[in-house]
Chain A
Amino acid sequence: MTTAEYEAVIGLEVHVELKTRSKAFCHCATSFGVEPNTHVCPICLGMPGVLPVLNREMVEYALMTALALNCRIAGYCKFDRKNYFYPDLPKNYQISQYDLPIATGGSLVIETENGPRTIGINRVHMEEDTGKLVHKGSIMTTPYSLVDLNRAGTPLLEIVSEPDLRSPGEARMYVEKLRLILLYLGVSDGKMEEGSLRCDANISVRPPGQQKLGTRTEIKNLNSFRALERALDYEIRRQIKTLAKGERIIQETRTWDEHEQVTMSMRSKEEAHDYRYFPDPDLPPLRIDPAWVERVCRSLPELPDQARRRLSEEYNLRRYDALLLTASRDILDFFDDCVAQYPKPKVLAKWITGDLARLLNRNKLEIKESKITPASLVGLLRLLEEGTISGTIAKAVLAEMFTTGESPDKIVRERGLTQISDEQEVRALVGDVIAENSRAVAEFQKGKDRALRFLMGQAMKASGGKANPELVYRLLREELSGR
Chain B
Amino acid sequence: MELYQHTVQEIGEMLARREVTAREVLASSAERIGRVENKIQAFITLTLEEAEKTARDLEARDEIGGLAGIPCGIKDNLCTRGVRTTCASEMLENFVPPYDATAVKRLKSAGAVVVGKLNMDEFAMGSSTENSGFFPTHNPWDLTRVPGGSSGGAAAAVAAGEVYYALASDTGGSIRQPASFCGVVGMKPTYGLVSRFGLVAFASSLDQVGPITRTVTDCALVMNAICGHDSMDSTSLKVPVPDYTKDIQEGIKGLRIGFPREYFQKGVDRGVKDTIMEALFKFEELGAVVEETSLPHSEYALPTYYIIAPSEASSNLARFDGVRYGYRDRYAQDTAEMFSSTRARGFGPEVIRRVMLGTYALSSGYYEAYYLKALKVRRLIKEDFDRAFEQYDILISPTTTSTAFRIGEKAEDLLTMYMLDMLTIPVSLAGIPSISIPGGFLNNLPVGLQLMGPPLSERTLLKAAYAFEQATGYHLRTPVLEVYGT
What residues make up the interface of A, taking CB atoms closer than 8 Å to B?
42, 45-54, 81, 83, 85, 87, 90-93, 145, 147, 274, 276-278, 281-284
B325, A83: Cβ atoms under 8 Å? Answer: no
Q: Which residue of B lies closest to A81 (CB)?
A: B315
Choose among A45, A49, A278 the residue that contacts B200 (Cβ–Cβ < 8 A): A49
Tell me the residues in window 437-452 of chain B with beta carbons closer than 8 Å to chain A beta carbons: none
A-B CB contact pairs (8 Å), 15 listed: A42-B97, A46-B324, A49-B196, A49-B198, A51-B196, A51-B197, A53-B232, A81-B315, A83-B314, A87-B335, A91-B319, A92-B319, A277-B362, A281-B203, A282-B204
- Please, how many angstroms separate the alpha-carbon atoms of A149 and B138 in the complex? 43
Q: Are A90 and B324 interface neighbours, CB within 8 A?
A: yes
Residues of the A chain whose Cβ atoms lie less than 8 Å from the Cβ of B399: none
Q: B141-149, B363-371, B388-396, B473-481: which one contacts chain A?
A: B363-371
Q: In the bound complex, do residue B359 and residue A147 qualify as a contact, i.e. CB atoms below 8 Å apart?
A: no
**A contacts with B: majority SS:** loop
Give the distance to chain B from A46, nearest Cβ to Cβ, in Å: 5
Residues of chain B in range 276-334 having any CB-CB distance to chain A below 8 Å:
311-312, 314-315, 318-321, 323-325
Known: A48-B85, A282-B234. 17 other contacts (CB 8 A): A45-B324, A46-B319, A47-B98, A49-B85, A50-B99, A50-B198, A53-B231, A83-B362, A85-B321, A87-B335, A90-B319, A278-B315, A278-B371, A281-B203, A281-B312, A282-B204, A282-B235
User: Measured between alpha carbons, how far is A282 from B233 in the docked complex, in Å?
Assistant: 8
User: For residue A83, which residues in chain B have a CB less than 8 angstroms away from its CB?
Assistant: 314-315, 318, 362
Chain B residues lying within 8 Å of A45, measured Cβ to Cβ, are 324
Chain B residues with CB under 8 Å of A53's CB are 231-234
Q: Is the CB of A276 within 8 A of B232?
A: no
Contact between chains at B371 and A147 (CB < 8 Å): no
Q: Chain A residues with Cβ under 8 A from B77's Cβ?
A: 49
A278 touches B311 (CB 8 A): yes
Indicate if the CB atoms of B234 and A49 lie closer than 8 Å. no
**Taking A145-B335, A281-B205 as contacts, is the C-beta distance between A48 and B319 under 8 angstroms?**
yes
Q: Which of A45, A46, A47, A284 has the largest count of B CB atoms less than 10 A from its CB? A: A47
B232, B314, B315 — which one has the most chain A CB atoms within 10 A of its CB? B315
Asked if B339 contacts A49 (CB within 8 A), the reply is: no
Q: Are B234 and A52 in contact, with the CB atoms below 8 A? A: yes
Interface size on B, residues (CB 8 A): 44
Which residues does chain B contribute within 8 Å of A46, judged by CB atoms?
A: 319, 324
Bound-state CA distance A283–B232 (Å) is 11
List residues of B whose CB falls within 8 A of some A CB. Answer: 77-79, 85, 87, 92, 95, 97-99, 101, 196-201, 203-205, 231-235, 311-312, 314-315, 318-321, 323-325, 335, 339, 359, 362-364, 367, 371
User: What's the Cα separation between A72 and B234 when bound, in Å?
Assistant: 26
Contact status B232-A91, CB under 8 Å: no
Residue of B nearest to A273 (CB): B364
Closest A residue to B204 by beta carbon equals: A281
Determine if B98 and A42 form an interchain contact, defined as CB atoms under 8 angstroms apart.
yes
B-side contacts of A87, CB under 8 Å: 321, 323, 335
- Assembled-state Cα–Cα distance A419/B269 (Å): 111
List chain A residues, Cβ under 8 A from B321.
85, 87, 92
Nearest CB in chain A: distance from B324 CB, A:
6
**How far apart are A53's CB and chain B's nearest CB, in angstroms?**
5
Nearest chain A CB to B455 CB, angstrom units: 15
Give the residue name and chain of the A residue nearest to B196 (CB): A51
Q: A42-B99, A278-B315 are in contact. Are A284 and B201 (CB under 8 A)?
A: no
- Contact across chains for B87 and A48 when beta carbons are under 8 A apart: yes
Leading 4 A-B pairs by shortest Cβ distance: A92-B318, A281-B204, A276-B362, A281-B205
Bound-state Cα–Cα, A180 to B371, Å: 42
Question: How long is the Cα–Cα vector from A479 to B270 in the complex, in angstroms?
Answer: 130
Q: How far is the CA of A63 from the CA of B165 in the complex (A)?
A: 48
- Whole-angstrom CA separation of A91 from B99 in the bound complex: 18
CA distance A141 to B99 in the complex (A): 38
Say yes or no: A284-B235 contact (C-beta < 8 A), given A42-B98, A48-B92, A49-B201.
yes
B323 touches A147 (CB 8 A): yes
In angstroms, Cα B274 to Cα A8, docked, is: 76
Q: How far apart sit A49 and B371, CA to CA, in the bound complex (Å)?
A: 23
Q: Is the CB of A276 within 8 A of B364?
A: yes
A81 to B204, CA, bound (A): 13
Return chain B residues, CB-CB under 8 Å to A52: 234
Of the candidates A48, A90, A93, the one whose C-beta lies within 8 Å of that of B79 is A48
Q: Check B318 against A85 for contact (C-beta < 8 Å).
A: yes
> Which of A48, A50, A81, A274 has the most chain B CB atoms closer than 10 A to its own CB?
A48
Q: How far is the CB of A92 from chain B (nearest CB, A)?
A: 4
Known: A42-B99, A91-B318, A92-B318. A51 touches B324 (CB 8 A): no
Which B residues are in CB contact (< 8 Å) with A145? Answer: 335
Q: Taking the nearest CB of chain B, how far is it from the CB of A16, in angstroms?
A: 24
**Distance of B312 from chain A, by nearest CB (Å):** 6
The smallest beta-carbon distance between A59 and chain B, in angstroms, is 13
Enumerate chain A residues within 8 angstroms of B234, measured Cβ to Cβ: 51-54, 282-284
Please tell me if the beta carbons of A276 and B323 are within 8 angstroms of each other in the complex.
no
Residues of A within 8 A of B359 (CB): 276
Among A49, A93, A274, A278, chain B packs the most CB atoms within 10 A around the CB of A49
Bound-complex Cα distance A277 to B97 (A):
29
Please give, as numbers and ranges, the residues of chain B lying within 8 Å of A92 by CB-CB distance.
318-319, 321
Complex Cα spacing A81 to B311, Å: 11
Contact call A51/B101, Cβ cutoff below 8 A = no
| CB closest chain-B residue, reference A133 | B335
The residue from A47, A49, A50, A276 contacting B315, defined by CB atoms under 8 A apart: A276
Q: Are B101 and A49 in contact (CB under 8 A)?
A: yes
Q: In the complex, what residue of chain B is closest to A85 when comparing beta carbons? A: B339
Tell me if A49 and B363 are in contact (CB < 8 A): no
Give Cα distance in the complex from A12 to B315, angstroms. Answer: 29
Shortest distance between the CB of A140 and any CB in chain B (Å): 10
> Which residue of B is nearest A79, CB measured?
B234
Instruction: Give min CB distance, A83 to chain B, whole Å.
Output: 5
Complex: how many Å from CA A49 to CA B232?
11
Say yes or no: A93-B233 contact (C-beta < 8 A), given A48-B85, A276-B362.
Answer: no
User: In the complex, what distance in Å separates the CA atom of A268 from the CA atom of B321?
Assistant: 26
User: How many angstroms between the C-alpha atoms of A310 and B234 in the bound complex?
Assistant: 45
CA distance A45 to B235 in the complex (A): 20
Expressed in whole angstroms, the minimum distance between the Cβ of A137 and any Cβ of chain B is 16
Q: Which residues in A have their C-beta under 8 angstroms from that of B235?
A: 51, 281-282, 284
Q: Taking the nearest CB of chain B, how far is it from the CB of A45, in angstroms? A: 6
Which residue, A93, A147, A281, A282, has most C-beta atoms of chain B within 10 A?
Answer: A281
Taken together as a complex, chains A and B put the C-alpha atoms of A90 and B314 apart, in Å, by 15
A22 to B335, CA, bound (A): 30
Q: For residue A284, give the distance in angstroms from its CB to the closest CB of chain B.
A: 6
In the complex, the chain B residue whose C-beta lies closest to that of A91 is B319
Question: Cα distance A284–B87 when bound, in Å?
Answer: 26
Give B340's nearest chain A residue, CB to CB.
A85
Which of A54, A92, A284 is the most central at the interface, judged by chain B CB atoms within 10 Å of its CB?
A92
